[in-house]
């Protein structure tokens, strides 16, 4: 069925896609953290930085800040049990964004009130100091050896401030009387001595933007949001993150298989889109109540809309028995033309789904239409 305009996830996918320029990207992960997941998050972020940053020194700065931020969340936040794969109810967040030539790395995790009372004055002190003073403070801390398992007298924060050359952005949102959610955001200019872009916003606005974004994702129970280019490296890294977060079960296998189909669908339909929009798309993974919801959006040629709509309606009209029969017929029809097999992915997703495939087409221009496809999978165990 064509997506109901009131489907908030489909609408959100379109809004998120529109908020990022064609040459930029936005990647957000929300949930529990483990060493394995952190490694895969870094791999995906590093791939995008490598493709967009042309200076080695810039790449090194961004990578350092990402590692420090993920280490901080992993130390303080709720973790996945590496043996059982069990995920705690609450967790942290990690985001990397490229916008107007600037890179932003944001982390978030729950901290206790006593940790907030310790962190806040340290961060305020760091923001007062100039670069030379930060270097001296760093040397002093190293000399005294005031290191601990929880971050070492703010040494990591000092290094992030030094490498970014910008003031640190942070805030504490109360969770309850005992804890707060700690937002920490670092901006790294894309070029040395680069003038501020015309659309530059203040640090407060920048931090508020990511907080509102996290709240919107939380409202829709979104675990992963990736908005950018779907090349081979990004696809593999996204799949690795999903695989690392889920324990082995029939549900996770279905989610993984459907995700492969959706990501391949993005690459297939955007490969010949002209200009910077080539291979651009968005993918959202949500977990609501008793099901996972996978939502993918990308541009397609407007002339292909009716054909794709007919295929989706045909797939949605079939019973389970008809779906399996049609799947086998297409799969075994070796001599058929390639375009006749195009609907095989839709049929496979429909078989694995708990309901009809939802979709919507939003006209962008004479040549391009934004296509959103959504698949729901019930959690069996």
Collapsing DSSP to helix, strand or coil, 195 comes out as: coil
Q: State the Cα–Cα distance between residues 323 and 348, nearest whole angstrom.
A: 8
Structure tokens at 92: 């942290």
51-106, pLDDT tens digit by residue?
766 677 888 888 899 998 888 887 765 444 444 444 444 578 999 998 888 899 99
Place of tokens 């971050």: 151
Q: Could you give the CA distance from residue 207 to residue 193 in angstroms, rounded to a whole number? A: 22
Contact (CB, 8 A) for 240 and 231: no
Question: Is the fold of 22-231 the same as that of 248-381?
Answer: yes
Q: Is 113 exposed, middle or buried (0-12, 13-18, 19+ CB in 10 A)?
A: middle
pLDDT (tens digit, 9 = 90+) per residue, 275-305? 667 778 999 999 888 889 999 999 999 999 9
d(C-alpha 270, C-alpha 283), whole Å:
14
Domain boundaries, the chain: 22-231, 248-381
Maximum distance among all Cα pairs of the chain, rounded to whole angstroms: 75
State the pTM of this model: 0.85
CATH class of 248-381: alpha beta
CATH 3.20.190.10 assigned to domain 22-231? The reply is no
The tens digit of pLDDT for each residue in 213-248 reads 999 999 999 999 999 888 788 888 888 877 766 655
Contact 234, 44 (CB under 8 A): yes
Q: What is the pLDDT of residue 148?
A: 43
* Greater model confidence, 90 or 15: 15
Distance (Å, whole) CA 217 – CA 28:
9
182 is written with which tokens?
């700690």
- Say how far apart CA 330 and CA 336 lie, in whole Å: 8
Residue 381 has pLDDT above 80, yes or no: no
């Amino acid at each position: 069925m064509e997506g109901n305009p009131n489907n908030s996830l489909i609408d959100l996918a379109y809004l998120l896609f529109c908020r990022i320029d064609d040459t930029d990207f936005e990647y957000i992960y929300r949930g529990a953290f483990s060493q394995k997941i952190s490694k895969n998050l870094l791999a995906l972020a590093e791939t995008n930085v490598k493709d967009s940053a042309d200076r080695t020194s810039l790449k090194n700065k961004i990578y350092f800040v990402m590692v420090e931020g993920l280490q901080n969340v992993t130390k303080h936040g709720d973790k996945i049990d590496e043996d059982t794969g069990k995920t705690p109810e609450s967790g942290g967040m990690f985001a990397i964004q490229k916008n107007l030539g600037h890179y932003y790395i944001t982390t978030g995790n729950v901290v206790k009130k006593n940790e907030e009372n310790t962190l806040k004055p340290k961060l305020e002190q760091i923001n007062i100091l100039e670069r030379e003073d930060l270097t001296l403070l760093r040397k002093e801390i190293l000399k005294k050896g005031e290191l601990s398992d929880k971050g070492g007298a703010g040494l990591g924060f000092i290094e992030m401030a030094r490498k970014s050359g910008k003031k640190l952005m942070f805030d504490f949102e109360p969770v309850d009387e005992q804890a707060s959610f700690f937002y920490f955001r670092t901006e790294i200019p894309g070029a040395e001595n680069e003038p501020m872009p015309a659309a530059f916003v203040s640090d407060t606005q920048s931090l508020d933007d990511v907080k509102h974004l996290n709240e919107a994702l939380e409202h829709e129970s979104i675990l992963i949001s990736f908005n950018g280019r779907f090349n081979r490296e990004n696809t593999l890294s996204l799949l690795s993150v999903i695989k690392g977060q889920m324990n082995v079960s029939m549900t996770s296998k279905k989610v993984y298989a459907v995700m492969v189909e959706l990501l391949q669908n993005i690459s297939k339909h955007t490969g010949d889109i002209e200009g910077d929009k080539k291979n651009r798309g968005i993918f959202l993974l949500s977990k609501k109540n008793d099901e996972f919801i996978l939502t993918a959006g990308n541009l397609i040629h407007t002339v292909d809309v009716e054909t794709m709509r007919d295929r989706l309606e045909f797939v949605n009209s079939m019973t389970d028995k008809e779906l399996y029969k049609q799947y086998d017929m297409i799969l075994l029809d070796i001599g058929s033309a390639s375009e006749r097999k195009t609907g095989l992915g839709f049929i496979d997703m429909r078989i694995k789904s708990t309901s009809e495939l939802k979709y919507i087409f939003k006209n962008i221009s004479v040549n391009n239409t934004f296509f959103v496809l959504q698949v729901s999978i019930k959690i069996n165990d």
